[in-house]
Amino acid sequence: MNAKRTAAVEVEKLTKRFGDFVAVDAVSFAVEAGEVFGFLGPNGAGKTTTIKMLTGLVSPTSGRGTVAGLDIRTQGKEIKRHIGYMSQLFSLYADLTVEENIAFFSGLYGVPRERRAERRDWVLEMAGLQEQRRRLTGELSLGWKQRLALGCAVLHEPPVLFLDEPTSGVDPISRRGFWDLIYALAATGTTVFVTTHYMEEAEFCHRLALMNRGRLIALDTPARLREGLREPLLEARTSDGTRTIEALEGAPGVAQAGLFGRAVHVTLKEGEDAGRDRARLAELLAGRGIEVESIERIEPSLEDVFIALVERTGGAVVD
Amino acid sequence: MADPLLRVDGLTREFGDLTAVAGVSFEVGRGELFGLVGPDGAGKTTTLRMLAGVLRPTSGDALMDGISMAREPERAKPRLAYMSQRFGLYADLTVEENLRFYADLHLVPRAERAARLERLYRFSNLGPFKDRLAGKLSGGMKQKLGLSCALIHQPELLLLDEPTFGVDPVSRRDLWLIVHEMVEQGVTAVVSTAYMDEAERFDRLALLHQGKVLAVDTPSALQKGLEGEILELRTDRVREAKEAASKLPTVRRAAIFGDRLHLTVPSASADGPAVESALRQAGFAPREARPIPPSLEDVFIERIAAAEAAAA
């Protein structure tokens, strides 16, 4: 069958005001079925309000949107039955066994009785929990708990799954295992909407949306966001970090300089020639009697991109 | 290491039949920024609590400048600051009142207070908020205030337990700037984190896993010590491509990151072409292949795998 790619989440000029305050300001985007979509932004950016509108908990002031084909303004109740939700603080019952937790959430999500055994077995299989099925959930490692929490969140086969910092704090092997499960779900058409403060999680997403001050300020793949950063980055290793920063702040071509461990990360202004600036700044530092061990152009991390975009759009809200 | 500030030797803590920290040893030099890096449950908090002298080890010891934290922690405490995950800020005191409270607690001389507050406000950018109630601050600003309170008595040793946990990237960078400034001025700091992407900030770090130290070294030495290189490429049907790549003899590990594959191979330049060719023949249309530097996460994964193989 020629499956047509349809948007699983779509919003157009979505806006939410609280009195004079515009929490979400004409945000538009579309997420395809089967996409792993990351939703980022500093505190106060409007992320939480957007998610609340998408899940039918808050109604928009203006604009429109659909989740799993349902209207977020009029079909909030139905939406809740068509989405799954898992956060790091997902409350599994520690003193129930793995199977008992699955049975409990099956009931909660209204999985039809005749399908419960099949769904339970599917979750145990997907999460690799067959051997732990009769163990108390509280005795499982964090990695296993997160797999179980994910399984419970998709018992009712929701077309759209919301994840909030799902793999915060797990070891990197468990984290990669968890994301393999997410990709497997996505491959069957489940749309995965991830919110996180951690770039380590953002790296796993197909596309990232970044919000600041109520607006959508970037939307692209992690790789293209990195390549698209217009401000080149230099890393300087010198005999004195503090004096290096003092010397560089306000120097021509320099947007910002700050300590990163022993090194100083220097953000150049948009359109600066990193090669020429490298030599020029090395001269400038030498002229101030600062010994320069090295000064090199470095690839920006996703966090560098995130911070540059937030600062370009007025900085984060500070309260 | 000649004359370290902190010498940790066989530090062990049991809670009933659970061994939270199992024979941890490392040294921290004067003025060093040292990281305790590992997932939740690796023993970071228990280790820091013993270094701070608030928890007695079951065996082993930590010496701060020769003072035993197991036997005479009270002698060392005035010289260190410990910021736990639940640092005690007073929600119904203002920012400045909290700072003054901690200044009193640590007997900071009155004559020095104004200058120290001024300096901490400059680092933390909390000055404009000094009359705000601590309970009304955002998570990131609370962490900055906690750190400022911990620094008010100008400790030689700063122990920070996951200071950036739950903090957004903008506030996180501000917190790190404060730590880097302190270290630049000669303070020794031991900081724990579960986030590998923060590990590059440390002078040296200990990778902790299940209560044990897997490795202690500088970030670059750990990266250079990784056997093999990482080849990044894009393919069609990336999940199936990962399965196929995993079966190739030169591919030790394969992971998906969005629309990209990361393959650990002995040499990206020598083995890359054969890997690409095999994937091309299998119909996965590999493209944009390039070697990428291994991350500390890649290093950690190899170390955990090696430790588990040795235990099995």
A24 occurs within a structural domain? yes
pLDDT at B165: 87
| A187 and chain B in contact, CB less than 8 A | yes
A169–chain B Cβ distance below 8 A for any pair: yes
Q: A180 in contact with B at a CB cutoff of 8 Å?
A: yes
Residues on chain A touching B185 (C-beta within 8 angstroms): 242
Q: How far is A44 from chain B (nearest CA, A)?
A: 9
Which pTM does this prediction carry? 0.89
Domain that holds residue A245: 230-299
The pLDDT assigned to A319 comes to: 56
Buried b (16+ CB within 10 A) or exposed e, A110-127: ebeeeeeeebbebbbeeb
Verify that A176 and A246 share a domain, yes or no: no
Chain-chain contact of A169 with B39 (C-beta, under 8 angstroms): yes
Question: Is A44 at the interface with chain B, CB within 8 A?
Answer: yes
What pLDDT does residue B11 have? 98
CB contact under 8 A, B171 and A316: yes
What pLDDT is attached to residue B168?
A: 87
Instruction: Say if A53 falls within a structural domain.
Output: yes
- Do A256 and A134 fall within a single domain? no
Do both A32 and A135 map to the same domain? yes
Q: Is B6 helix (H, G, I), strand (E, B) or coil?
A: strand
Let me know if residue A133 belongs to a domain. yes
Residue A2 within any structural domain of the chain: no
State the ipTM, two decimals: 0.84
Do residues A121 and A50 both lie within one domain?
yes
The string of pLDDT tens digits covering residues A227-247 is: 888 889 999 999 988 899 989
Which residues from chain B sit within 8 angstroms of residue A170, using beta carbons?
Answer: 39-40
A77 min Cα distance to partner chain B (Å): 30
Confidence of residue A1 (pLDDT cuts 50, 70, 90): very low
Angle formed at CA B281 by CA B276 and CA B286, multiple of 5 degrees: 40
The pLDDT of residue A200 is 86
Among chain B residues, the shortest Cα distance to A263 is held by B201
CA-to-CA separations, A213 to A189, A202, A307, B168, B311, in angstroms, rounded: 32, 20, 13, 14, 50
From CA A29, how far away is CA A219, in angstroms rounded?
A: 8
C-alpha B90/C-alpha B102 separation (Å) is 11
- Quick one: three-class SS letters along chain A? CCCCCCEEEEEEEEEEEECCEEEEEEEEEEEECCCEEEEECCCCCCHHHHHHHHCCCCCCCEEEEEECCEECCCCHHHHHHHEEEEECCCCCCCCCEHHHHHHHHHHHCCCCHHHHHHHHHHHHHHCCCHHHCCCEHHHCCHHHHHHHHHHHHCCCCCCEEEEECCCCCCCHHHHHHHHHHHHHHHHCCCEEEEECCCHHHHCCCCEEEEEECCEEEEEECHHHHHHCCCCCEEEEEECCHHHHHHHHCCCCCEEEEEEECCEEEEEECCCCCHHHHHHHHHHHHHHCCCCEEEEEECCCCHHHHHHHHHHHCCCCCCC
H or E element, residue B273: helix B268-281
Whether A45 is in a domain gets the answer: yes
With CB atoms and an 8 Å threshold, state whether A43 touches B139.
yes
| CA distance to partner chain A, nearest, from residue B12 (Å) | 21
Answer yes or no: is A308 within a domain: no
Q: Which residues contact residue A310 at a Cβ distance below 8 angstroms, ignoring those fewer than 6 apart?
A: A41, A42, A210, A212, A217, A316, B170
Task: Choose the closest CB to A222 out of B129, B238, B258.
Answer: B258
- pLDDT tens readout for residues B102-137: 999 888 999 999 999 998 998 888 999 999 999 998
Domains of chain B by range and CATH? 6-220 (3.40.50.300), 227-293 (3.30.70.100)
- Decide: A23 and A67 in contact? Cβ < 8 Å: no
Residues A131 and A265 in one domain: no
CATH code where residue A35 lies: 3.40.50.300
Looking at residue A7, what is its pLDDT?
A: 83
Structural tokens at position B50: 């013993």
Q: Is the pLDDT of residue B241 over 80?
A: yes
| Amino acid A4: pLDDT | 45
Do A269 and A189 fall into the same domain? no
Predicted confidence at residue A5, as pLDDT, reads 52
A307 vs B169, B238, B255: nearest CB: B169
Judged against a pLDDT cut of 50, whether residue B2 lies above it is answered with: yes
Instruction: Calculate mean pLDDT across residues A100-116.
Output: 94
Q: Which of A36, A197, A301 sits opposite B168 (nearest CB)?
A: A197
pLDDT recorded at residue A6: 67
Instruction: Please give, rounded to a whole number of angstroms, the shortest distance from the CA of B230 to a CA of chain A.
Output: 16
Number of domains in chain A: 2
Comparing C-alpha atoms, which of A195, A192, A202 is closest to residue A223? A202
Q: Are residues A108 and A172 in the same domain?
A: yes
pLDDT of residue B124: 86
CA of A173 to nearest chain B CA: how many angstroms apart? 6
Q: Given A207, A226, A245, which residue is the final one in a domain?
A: A226
Q: Which of A206, A226, A246 is the last residue of a domain?
A: A226
Q: Look at residues A226, A259, A282 and tell me which one is the last residue of a structural domain.
A: A226
State whether A201 and A140 are in the same domain.
yes
CATH of the domain at A282: 3.30.70.100
A260:B180 CB<8 A = yes
Question: Which residues touch B110 (CB under 8 Å, ≥6 apart)?
Answer: none
A175 and A286 part of one domain: no
Is some CB atom of chain B closer than 8 A to the CB atom of A138?
A: no
Rounded to an integer, the average pLDDT of B190-215 is 94
Least Cα separation, residue B89 to chain A (angstroms): 18
Amino acid at B166: G
Cα–Cα distances in Å, from A33 out to A5, A185, B143, B244, B254?
7, 11, 39, 25, 25
Give me the pLDDT at residue B148, please: 93
Selected for mutation to probe chain B from A40, A144, A167, A171 (highest B CB count within 10 Å) is A171
Regarding whether A215 and A199 lie in a shared domain, the answer is: yes
Smallest CA–CA distance from A301 into chain B, residue: B197
* pLDDT at residue A123 is higher than 50: yes
**Is residue A22 left, alpha or beta, with left meaning phi > 0 and alpha meaning psi from -120 to 50?**
beta
The burial of B252, by beta-carbon neighbours within 10 Å (0-12 exposed, 13-18 middle, 19 or more buried), is given as middle
pLDDT band at A89 (very low <50, low <70, confident <90, very high): low
Are residue A208 and residue A257 in the same domain, yes or no?
no
For an interface test with A, give the residue of B144, B164, B171, B180 to mutate (most A CBs within 10 A): B180
Closest Cα in chain A, distance from residue B29 (Å): 15
Tens of pLDDT, residue by residue over A248-288, are: 988 999 988 888 888 999 999 888 888 899 999 999 999 99
Residue A110, domain member (yes or no): yes
Q: Where are the alpha helices (DSSP H) in B43-190?
A: 44-51, 73-76, 95-105, 110-124, 139-151, 169-184
How much is the CA Rg of chain B, to the nearest whole Å? 23
Test mutation, A87, A197, A294, chain B, max B CBs within 10 A: A197
In 3D space, the residue among B279, B270, B267, B214 whose CA is nearest the CA of residue B243 turns out to be B279
Mean pLDDT, chain B, rounded, equals 93
pLDDT in tens, A12-29: 999 999 999 999 999 999
Average pLDDT over chain A reads 91
The answer on pLDDT for B296 being more than 60 is yes
Other Cβ atoms less than 10 A from the Cβ of B60: the count is: 18
Q: Does one domain contain both A85 and A206?
A: yes
Instruction: Mark B218-233 as b/e (b = at least 16 C-beta within 10 Å).
Output: ebeebbeebebbbbbb
Cβ of residue A29 closer than 8 Å to a chain B Cβ: no
Q: Is residue A312 part of a domain?
A: no
Q: Is A43 close to B140, i.e. CB distance below 8 A? A: yes
